[in-house]
Amino acid sequence: MTANIQSIEALPLIYSSGNMNYKKFALILIFLFAILFAFFIVSNRKTAIIKPNNKEVSQITSPELISTKPNPLDDTIVSSTEIIELTFSRPLENVPEFKIKIEPKTDYKIELSGDKKTVKIIPATPFELGTTYTLFILQNSKFEGGGRLPKELTFHFRTVKYRGF
């Protein structure tokens, strides 16, 4: 009997000790839920692209032309076989969706880089010497994610003149 009385007397100690553990467990659980909630809030924020001039722009903004080769492309003189490169801020959908027009009309081939951001316009036949060309990058060119150019882009370039020997 004595053993039973001692174990009964120890019961309040075990219970109060368990109650203390329950409080610690509850506090730890609340703390973990708070951390999980904070992580959920932070992970649902929209990401943004920071442009070189420190303007914040969302990822769904219109694509922009960020570089050309030759640089500058407008009002420049090119060789008759010069490959023109255009690099955009967002990837293009595919080659057929990149819409350009060159005047006077000339045959060309278009290639996309691996990341689909750089377009090469390769003359199929050499540009005519001493001729001024106008390159129109049409507004309905399609970019991944549904983006389009905000406006048509126009560049004028000319080829070197033939002066003979």
Identify the CATH number of the domain in which residue 134 sits.
2.60.40.3710
Q: Does one domain contain both 41 and 86? A: no
Does the predicted TM-score (pTM) go above 0.75? no
Question: Residue range 22-40: average pLDDT?
Answer: 76
In total, the chain counts a number of residues equal to 165
152 against 40, higher pLDDT: 152
- What is the reported pLDDT for 108? 96
More confident residue, 56 or 60: 60
Does residue 31 belong to any structural domain of this protein?
A: yes
Q: Are residues 32 and 76 in the same domain?
A: no
Does residue 9 fall inside a structural domain?
A: yes
Q: Count up the domains in the chain and report the number.
A: 2
Residues 85 and 149 in one domain: yes
Strand order in the sheet with 65-69: 65-69, 84-88, 118-123, 108-112
List, in order, residues 6 or more apart from 128 with CB less than 8 Å away: 80, 104, 106, 159
21 and 87 housed in the same domain: no
> What backbone torsions phi and psi does residue 50 show, to the nearest 5 degrees?
-100, 120
Mean pLDDT of 115-134: 96
Same domain, 97 and 128: yes
CA distances (Å), origin 1, targets 6, 23, 61, 71 = 9, 34, 82, 100
Residue 56: inside a domain, yes or no?
A: no
Residues of the domain holding 101: 62-159
Q: What mean pLDDT is predicted for residues 56-74?
A: 79
C-alpha to C-alpha distance for 103 and 138, rounded to whole angstroms: 13
Predicted local confidence at residue 18, as pLDDT = 55
- Residue 19 confidence (pLDDT): 62
Instruction: Choose between 20 and 64: higher pLDDT.
Output: 64
Mean pLDDT of 128-147: 94
Question: Which stretches of the chain are assigned E, i.e. beta strand?
Answer: 48-50, 56-58, 65-69, 76-78, 84-88, 100-103, 108-112, 118-123, 132-137, 153-159
Residue 51 lies in a domain: no
**Taking 50 as the threshold, does the pLDDT of residue 56 lie above it?**
no
Please tell me whether residues 78 and 153 are part of one structural domain.
yes
Q: What is the pLDDT of residue 55?
A: 45
Residues 41 and 109 in one domain: no
DSSP bridge pairs for 49: 57
User: Percent of the chain at pLDDT above 90?
Assistant: 54
Share of the chain above pLDDT 70, in %: 73
- 117 and 63 Cβ atoms separated by less than 8 Å: no
Mean per-residue pLDDT, 121-128: 96
Decide if 54 is inside a domain.
no
- Asked whether residue 11 falls in the same domain as residue 72, the answer is no
- Residue 79 inside a domain? The answer is yes
Please, which pLDDT band fits residue 85 given cuts at 50, 70 and 90?
A: very high
